[in-house]
Amino acid sequence: MNVNIDWFLLVEALYGMIVLAVALRVIYDSNSTSKTLAYLLLIILVPVVGILFYFSFGINYRKRKMYSKKLATDEIFLKNFEQRMEKVKKSFSEKQFPLVDSNQSMIRLLANKNMENSPLLISNQADILLNGETFFPRLIEDLKSAQHHIHLEYYIYENDEIGNQIKNVLIEKVQQGVQVRFIYDDFGCRSIRKNIVVELRDAGVEIFAFNKITWIALANRMNYRNHRKIVIIDGAISYTGGINISDRYDNTKKLKDSLYWRDTHLRIYGDATYALQHIFLSDWNFCSKQSLRVNSDFFPLIEHEKLGKLPMQIVASGPDSQVPSILYSVVKAINDAKSEILFTTPYYIPDETLQQAMIMAAMSGKKVKILLPQVSDSKMVQWASQSYFEELLEAGVELYFYQKGFIHAKSFVTDSGVSSIGTCNLDHRSFDLNFEVNAIVYDDEFADQMRKIFYQDCENAVQLNYKRWFKRNHWKRLKNSFLRLFSPLL
């Protein structure tokens, strides 16, 4: 008996079953309606490639948790450390800082166990550093003064002048007996894998790639990047913010076709360094497979009489977080602002929660201002970002575009005295996919500095006019609207 098999129909039916199964997986796996719809659209409209893209980039690791943050602890030190922190809290409560009282709701949110237990740390000094030409000399000075250990964690470290200068300092410190540990993102630091990484390792620096890219897990590991920029020196001094190790951040260097690069970083001396140290050690134990212990070498008892009183919380988030902690902190800051909140970000691709928070704040009479680059380093991201502007403008949000160069700073400040400097952009990737860290500061003087910096940057920016934006041609509108469908994937 001859049976004619229509192979085309068979393959078509099989593919339809695969699409249905993957669609069900997408619906089950994602907590975000916009992301679910974007992946469903991609799977249906782009045969085969859409499915491959989802399995490469779309798996929700927050459900699966990429790794568990566990540190072996020195119980005796930990007990002493907790007792000491209780004394600090008692001393602090007696001083009754008004801004801490008025921002108790925000502080409790960030200290919640689901938000990585970010404690309020009071005894700190902090300096705002603008651009690489200010940051790099200060960093090198502190690195040279290290006595016990240097810890670095970077998304981008380049094989250029500043990269080699810092490399030489690290090698010199190792030769002096200082412990140097370095975590580099395997994607962002790909230019140093075969040179600086090798030189540092040969010199005695302990250096590991975070989530090393292998061909078997290529796409997923490229998608979940370590975007943090952390430096810790002797457990007392620390740095975080937007500046990577690259000559492009130093505007005194004459690089070919280089833009003026505007960025913001933070130098901390005090208790908040402990929180950054905890993040680093957690990341280190994950990527090195070691088990460094919490002890007095990494968490030294700093003499508090030498410090100022600058209340601060360090907020980390990533695919390993139970909730998108930094997103929650941003939305909370918007809601708690009295009459003004100022954002600086190189990328704006919000989820529904952030977009609605911006709109509601502006419609409630708050001044909401966002400073963005005039020209982005990604056209697709820029076009997708533009699809959100009309809603913001209609609500009264003011949008400014920096024209002096490229603005890469990630910060905000509110008139409630809450400020933030960190590594997190206002986009899906930073809130959901990348490992990020922000410093939240509760201080009027600090907020005044941040506010002045924002308005100084606005002197080199132009405000987007709603009427002109509304009149843009239909092709641009269609392009923006189409890319918005895929914005959760960018």
Pair 272, 302: CB distance under 8 Å: no
Q: Which residues pair with 130 in a beta bridge?
A: 264
Could you give phi then psi for residue 189, rounded to 5 degrees? -105, 25
Catalytically active residues, by annotation: 227, 229, 234, 408, 410, 415
Count other Cβ atoms within 10 Å, centred on residue 177.
9
Question: β-strands 293-294, 72-73: how paired?
Answer: parallel
Tell me the β-bridge partners of 179: 149
Q: Which two tokens stand for residue 72?
A: 């072996």
Q: Are 182 and 205 in contact (CB under 8 A)?
A: yes
**DSSP character for 292?**
P
Helix (H, G, I), strand (E, B) or coil at 57: helix
The two beta strands, 206-210 and 179-185, are: parallel
Distance CA 274, CA 297 (A): 11
- Inter-CA distances, 435 with 153, 397, 429, 439, Å: 11, 29, 10, 14
The Cα–Cα gap between 48 and 16 comes to: 11
Distance CA 178, CA 190 (A): 26
